[in-house]
Amino acid sequence: MYVCMYMYVCKPHAVQHLLADLHSYNTDVAVITETHFKNKHNDSAISVPGYTVLRRDRERRRGGGVALYVRSSLPLSACNFSGDDLTYELLWGRIGDTFVGALYHPPRPGCTVESILDYIETCLEELVRAILQQL
């Protein structure tokens, strides 16, 4: 499995560049930070053939946002966190038995480093509990 990271997918022709990179590197999972996607960007406008996209757009501010592009042949599901907080630009996806997190931490965050680390830890604890309940 090859994973890549990409930024600024909302720029003109960026999705086409992303498509070229995903195919040329034979990428299974791409973690995208700072997508700049907003509600006005529907999934069909940002879709890449052969990939499923999960996204978390930044609300009420410019820039930001995260997304996961995952090869369509891989089993993908979004992981929802019971204590979801829009302050954090964190998106969790489950690909088979693997959890992938996409996080954007802006230069001027609205939270402290300690609070985001606590939030990530709480998310992971909930994900682990959910896995253990399935066993």
Check if the beta carbon of residue 59 is closer than 8 Å to that of residue 33: no
pLDDT at 88 over 60: yes
pLDDT at 8 over 60: no
The per-residue pLDDT for 120 is 94
The per-residue pLDDT for 41 is 59
pLDDT tens digits, 102-135 = 988 878 877 898 999 999 999 999 988 988 888 7
Mean of all residue pLDDT scores within the chain: 81
CA–CA dist 100, 12 (Å, integer): 27
Range picked from 3-7, 9-13, 89-93, 109-113 for highest mean pLDDT: 89-93
Smallest Cα–Cα separation from 28: which of 66, 76, 69?
A: 69
CA–CA dist 70, 3 (Å, integer): 9
The domains found in the chain, sorted by start residue, are 3-134 (3.60.10.10)
Neighbours of 36 (CB within 10 A): 17
CA–CA dist 95, 76 (Å, integer): 5
Across 62-82, average pLDDT: 87
